[in-house]
Structure 1
Amino acid sequence: MIELHATDALILVDVQNDFLPGGALAVPGGDQVVPVLNAYIERFAAKALPVFATRDWHPPNHCSFRPQGGPWPPHCIAGTWGAEFAPELKLPEGVQIVSKATEPEREAYSGFDGTDLKDLLKQQGIKRLFVGGLATDYCVLNTVKDALKSGFAVFLLIDAIRAVNAHPGDEQRALDEMRRQGAHFITLSDLA
Structure 2
Amino acid sequence: MKALLLVDIQNGFCPGGNLAVENGDAVVPVANALIESGRYGLIIASQDWHPEGHGSFASRHEGKQPFDIGELAGKPQVMWPDHCVQGTVDAAFHPDLKIDSIHHIQRKGENPEIDSYSAFRDNDRSAVTGLDQLLKEKAVTELDIMGLATDFCVKFTALDAIEMLPDVTVRLIEDGCRGISEDSSREAIKDIKAAGVEITDSHAALES
TM-score (norm 2): 0.84
Runs of 4+ aligned residues of structure 1 deviating over 3 Å after TM superposition are: none
* Corresponding position: 1:145 with 2:159: yes
**Aligned counterpart for 1:53 among listed residues 29, 45, 48:** 45
* Corresponding position: 1:171 with 2:185: yes
* SS in structure 2 at match of 1:154: strand
The alpha-carbon deviation at position 15 of structure 1 amounts to 0.2
**Aligned 1:102-113 pairs, distance under 5 A:** 102-113=110-121
Please list the CA deviations of residues 130-169 of structure 1 after superposition, one character each: whole Å capped at 9, or x if unmatched: 000000000000000000001132110011000001xx61
* Corresponding position: 1:123 with 2:137: yes
2:150, 2:34 → 1: CA distance?
A: 17
Would the aligned equivalents of 1:51 and 1:92 in 2 still touch at CA under 8 Å? no
Q: Which moved more, 1:24-33 or 1:69-78?
A: 69-78
The alpha-carbon deviation at position 94 of structure 1 amounts to 5.0
**Structure 2 letter corresponding to 1:156:** L
The alpha-carbon deviation at position 95 of structure 1 amounts to 1.9
**Aligned 1:39-50 pairs, distance under 5 A:** 39-43=33-37, 46-47=38-39, 49-50=41-42
**Aligned 1:47-86 pairs, distance under 5 A:** 47=39, 49-69=41-61, 71-86=79-94
The alpha-carbon deviation at position 41 of structure 1 amounts to 0.7
Would the aligned equivalents of 1:41 and 1:91 in 2 still touch at CA under 8 Å? no
Would the aligned equivalents of 1:34 and 1:88 in 2 still touch at CA under 8 Å? yes
**Structure 1 letter corresponding to 2:196:** G
The aligned counterpart of 1:23 is 17
Q: Which runs of 5+ in 1 are unaligned?
A: 1-6
2:102, 2:55 → 1: CA distance?
A: 32
Q: Which runs of 5+ in 2 are unaligned?
A: 62-77, 122-127
2:153, 2:40 → 1: CA distance?
A: 26
**Aligned counterpart for 1:90 among listed residues 98, 102, 122:** 98
2:79, 2:109 → 1: CA distance?
A: 15
The alpha-carbon deviation at position 90 of structure 1 amounts to 0.8
**Structure 1 letter corresponding to 2:85:** I
**Structure 1 letter corresponding to 2:159:** K
TM-score (norm 1): 0.91
2:35, 2:145 → 1: CA distance?
A: 11
User: Aligned residue pairs: how many?
Assistant: 182
Identity, % of aligned positions = 40
**Structure 2 letter corresponding to 1:21:** P
CA RMSD of aligned residues (A): 1.3
> How has the CA–CA distance of structure 1 residues 72 and 94 changed in structure 2, closer, same or farther, with 3 Å as cutoff?
closer
The alpha-carbon deviation at position 47 of structure 1 amounts to 4.3
**Aligned counterpart for 2:201 among listed residues 161, 172, 187:** 187
**Aligned counterpart for 1:160 among listed residues 147, 155, 176:** 176
